[in-house]
RNA sequence: UCCGGUUUAGCUCAGUUGGUUAGAGCAGCGGACUGUUAAUCCGCGUGUCCGGGGUUCGAGUCCCUGAACCGGAGCCA
């Protein structure tokens, strides 16, 4: 007899199989019982008919409580009335642990309660679906870069300096000196790109900002491609292709999960392909037409960003920002010194910035000028400046926040549900 | 950090102009039911009304204070 997984049940139609898992829910209607059984790959309904299985097994079924651990044996049969299309005609039941008082009942709960029980909440259908889509998005991201001749080159998490000198970092003691948890692997990514041509790094990122919004975590995952001999337009193209590839994969491989989340595939399909592109200056004009009192040179706040994204039904690329509001490493536009060759991708439906990137400044003197102007400690950047001393080339890259992409593609109200154990200003446990 | 809001049963919430004994639904338990999808029907419980202080004959309700949480802003992916 085969030991199988719920997600493969359809392939075993007509066969007697065994499944190991947990009770999702159960109900009875007289002499017939319905057991929703989950094993981590899906949920299958088991049917227990008293007259077929006998009184002893039926009584045993009646004792089952939510999340008790069990193994079931039975025949897989097709039945359109069952969720998932297949069900299991139960013939034997082994109880490993009968439990009492599982805290998460199949009724309404508040976010605080659920977050305090996050270690259990991830068993629930909806959370499970989100995390499976997260996996698909991460897998697709890796597959995309791997199949486009990128090399994965990891970057350190302990760093000695602020990468951009802007955001607040988590400080930690490192054998007698201060170290900071990485807020981006980008500078190292640039070194890697000079060594490997096309590289990506993918790891956790830490920001100590006391942000309390639906878009922020203090610990999140970011993928950062960096490409040698690449300019802004090509950089944008890579971003478009990556997002399109991810959406295709999610649509193809995670239909059940999308359905659980009531995310319409037709909506996701619209997001693919080439994205509309506007310059910062054009975006400012757009804001003026929309009645915003906004001065050229300022950074977009949340309301501005949302308004711009709302004008499009696809992700929109905003490029060429004022130099003053962007990081020191962004290359100044040779055609307009006031702007840099940066680009942001704003997701539709109010999900905000999912990608931020730029062509990097490859001229040593300009870079030194910026470091001085921003009052950054030059000695900390000597290794980075070496990249401009020894074989400098045009190069570009971007960072994509995984949680924001998951949040958007799943159409969630908050990023905290996109990561198994979210770290936020007020959340450190479980 | 700033602005706004919330805190009452295991969970989600209601609770009138301050009024005597604080409610409902769900979950749980027992029973009925051979196709349930958050099943339905009958029966059975539960309270530090967030903590502290005050006003009042009387406070879940009003005031002060503290805490926790939620949403937004800034910052960003």
Pair A272, A374: CB distance under 8 Å: no
Instruction: Decide if A26 is inside a domain.
Output: yes
Instruction: Decide if A159 is inside a domain.
Output: yes
Which nucleotide comes closest to A166 if you measure CA to C1'?
Answer: B75
Taking C1' of B77 and every protein CA, the nearest residue is A401
Cis peptide before A301 (omega within 30 of 0): no
- Asked whether residue A163 carries a pLDDT value surpassing 70, the answer given is no
Q: How confident is the model at residue A428 (pLDDT cuts 50, 70, 90)?
A: confident
Q: How many CA atoms lie within 13 A of A88 on its CB side?
A: 29
Identify the pLDDT of residue A167: 63
Listed residue (A406, A422, A423) closest to A132, CA to CA: A406
Taking C1' of B10 and every protein CA, the nearest residue is A103
**CA atoms of A415 and A392, how far apart (whole Å):** 38
User: Both tokens of residue A277?
Assistant: 């592109």
Percent of chain A residues topping a pLDDT of 70: 98
- The dihedrals phi and psi of A218, each to the nearest 5 degrees, come to -85, -20
CATH number at residue A21: 2.40.50.140
The residues, any chain, with a CB within 8 Å of residue A318's CB and separated by 6 or more, are: A277, A278, A279, A280, A283, A308, A343, A344, A346
Which nucleotide comes closest to A111 if you measure CA to C1'?
Answer: B70
Q: How many structural domains is chain A composed of?
A: 2
Residues A138 and A250 in one domain: yes
**CA atoms of A371 and A34, how far apart (whole Å):** 67
Residues A196 and A334 in one domain: yes
Taking C1' of B35 and every protein CA, the nearest residue is A81
- Could you tell me the distance in Å between the CA of residue A410 and the C1' of nucleotide B27? 29
Residues A71 and A123 in one domain: no
Residues A187 and A302 in one domain: yes
Cβ burial of A163 (10 Å; 0-12, 13-18, 19+) is buried
Task: Give the mean pLDDT of chain A.
Answer: 91
What's the predicted TM-score (pTM) here? 0.94
- Could you tell me the distance in Å between the CA of residue A426 and the C1' of nucleotide B69? 9
Q: CA angle, A305 as apex, A299 and A310 as ends, to 5°?
A: 155
- Could you tell me the distance in Å between the CA of residue A281 and the C1' of nucleotide B65? 50
Residues A85 and A43 in one domain: yes
What 8-state DSSP symbol labels residue A215?
Answer: T
Instruction: Decide if A107 is inside a domain.
Output: no
Instruction: Decide if A106 is inside a domain.
Output: no
Q: Got the DSSP string for A134-184?
A: HHHHHHHHHHHHHTTT-EE----SEESS-SSS-S---EEEETTEEEEE-S-
Residues A262 and A342 in one domain: yes
> For chain A, percent helix, then strand, then coil, each to nearest 5?
35, 30, 35
Residues A87 and A135 in one domain: no
Taking C1' of B28 and every protein CA, the nearest residue is A101
- Could you tell me the distance in Å between the CA of residue A109 and the C1' of nucleotide B14? 17
Nucleotides on chain B within 7 angstroms of protein Cβ: 1-2, 10-13, 25-29, 32-40, 68-77
The model's pLDDT over A372-411, given as tens digits with 9 standing for 90+, comes to 988 888 888 999 999 999 999 999 999 999 999 999 999 9
Instruction: Decide if A103 is inside a domain.
Output: no
Pair A7, A255: CB distance under 8 Å: no
Residues A204 and A70 in one domain: no
**CA atoms of A407 and A416, how far apart (whole Å):** 9
Which nucleotide comes closest to A167 if you measure CA to C1'?
Answer: B75
Identify the pLDDT of residue A99: 87
Identify the pLDDT of residue A212: 81
Which nucleotide comes closest to A113 if you measure CA to C1'?
Answer: B11
User: 3-state class of A133 per DSSP?
Assistant: helix
End of a domain among A97, A127, A143? Answer: A97
Listed residue (A127, A143, A24) closest to A72, CA to CA: A24
Residues A83 and A179 in one domain: no
Which nucleotide comes closest to A344 if you measure CA to C1'?
Answer: B77
Range(s) of the domain holding residue A10: 2-97
Identify the pLDDT of residue A74: 95
- Could you tell me the distance in Å between the CA of residue A117 and the C1' of nucleotide B61? 32
- Could you tell me the distance in Å between the CA of residue A112 and the C1' of nucleotide B63? 29
- Could you tell me the distance in Å between the CA of residue A415 and the C1' of nucleotide B68? 22
- Could you tell me the distance in Å between the CA of residue A126 and the C1' of nucleotide B11? 18
Which nucleotide comes closest to A65 if you measure CA to C1'?
Answer: B28
**CA atoms of A69 and A77, how far apart (whole Å):** 23
ipTM comes to 0.86
End of a domain among A97, A132, A165? Answer: A97
Instruction: Decide if A149 is inside a domain.
Output: yes
Residues A287 and A413 in one domain: yes
Bridge partners of A279? Answer: A319
Residues A235 and A371 in one domain: yes
CATH number at residue A355: 3.30.930.10
- Could you tell me the distance in Å between the CA of residue A103 and the C1' of nucleotide B54? 39
**CA atoms of A253 and A185, how far apart (whole Å):** 30
Which nucleotide comes closest to A82 if you measure CA to C1'?
Answer: B37
**CA atoms of A165 and A172, how far apart (whole Å):** 17
Structure-token match 């948890």, residue found: A181
The alpha carbon of A373 is separated from its chain's Cα centroid by a whole number of angstroms, namely 35
Instruction: Decide if A425 is inside a domain.
Output: no
Residues A87 and A132 in one domain: no
Pair A416, A216: CB distance under 8 Å: no
End of a domain among A42, A62, A97? Answer: A97
The model's pLDDT over A262-282, given as tens digits with 9 standing for 90+, comes to 899 999 999 999 999 999 999
Identify the pLDDT of residue A178: 84
Instruction: Decide if A174 is inside a domain.
Output: yes
């Amino acid at each position: 007899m085969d030991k199988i997984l719920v997600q493969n049940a359809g392939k075993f139609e007509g066969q007697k199989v065994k499944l190991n898992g947990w009770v999702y829910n159960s109900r009875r209607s007289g002499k017939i019982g319905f057991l929703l059984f989950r094993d981590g790959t899906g949920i299958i309904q088991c049917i227990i008919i008293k007259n077929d299985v006998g009184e002893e097994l039926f009584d045993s079924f009646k004792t089952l409580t939510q999340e008790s651990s069990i193994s079931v044996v039975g025949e897989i049969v097709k039945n359109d009335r069952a969720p998932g299309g297949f069900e299991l005609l139960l013939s034997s039941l082994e109880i490993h642990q009968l439990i009492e008082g599982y805290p998460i009942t199949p009724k309404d709960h508040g976010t605080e309660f659920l977050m305090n029980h996050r270690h259990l909440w991830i068993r629930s259908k909806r959370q499970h679906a989100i995390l499976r889509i997260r996996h698909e998005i991460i897998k697709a991201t890796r597959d995309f870069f791997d199949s486009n001749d990128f090399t994965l080159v990891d970057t350190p998490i302990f760093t000695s300096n602020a990468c951009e000198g802007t955001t607040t970092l988590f400080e930690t003691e490192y054998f007698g000196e201060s170290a900071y948890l990485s807020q981006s692997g980008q500078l190292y990514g640039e070194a890697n790109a000079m060594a490997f041509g096309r590289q990506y790094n993918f790891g956790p990122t830490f920001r100590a900002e006391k942000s309390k919004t639906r878009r922020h975590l203090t610990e999140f995952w970011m993928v950062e491609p960096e490409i040698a001999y690449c300019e802004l337009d090509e950089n944008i193209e890579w971003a478009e292709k990556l997002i399109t590839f991810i959406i295709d994969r999610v649509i193809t491989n995670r239909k059940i999960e999308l359905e659980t989340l009531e995310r319409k595939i037709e909506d996701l399909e619209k997001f693919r392909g080439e994205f509309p592109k506007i310059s910062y200056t054009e975006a400012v004009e757009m804001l003026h037409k929309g009645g915003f009192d906004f001065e050229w040179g300022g950074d977009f706040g949340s309301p501005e960003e949302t308004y711009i994204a709302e004008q499009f039904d696809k992700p929109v690329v905003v490029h060429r920002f004022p130099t003053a509001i962007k990081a020191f490493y962004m290359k100044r536009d040779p055609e307009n010194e006031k702007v840099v060759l940066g680009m942001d991708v704003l997701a539709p439906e109010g999900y905000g910035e999912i990608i931020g990137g730029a062509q990097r400044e490859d001229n040593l003197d300009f870079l030194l000028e910026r470091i001085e102007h921003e009052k950054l400690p030059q000695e900390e950047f000597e290794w980075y400046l070496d990249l401009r001393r020894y074989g400098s080339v045009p190069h570009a890259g971007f960072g994509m926040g995984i949680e924001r992409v998951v949040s958007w593609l799943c159409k969630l109200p908050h990023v905290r549900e996109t990561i198994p154990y979210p770290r936020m200003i007020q959340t450190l446990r479980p």
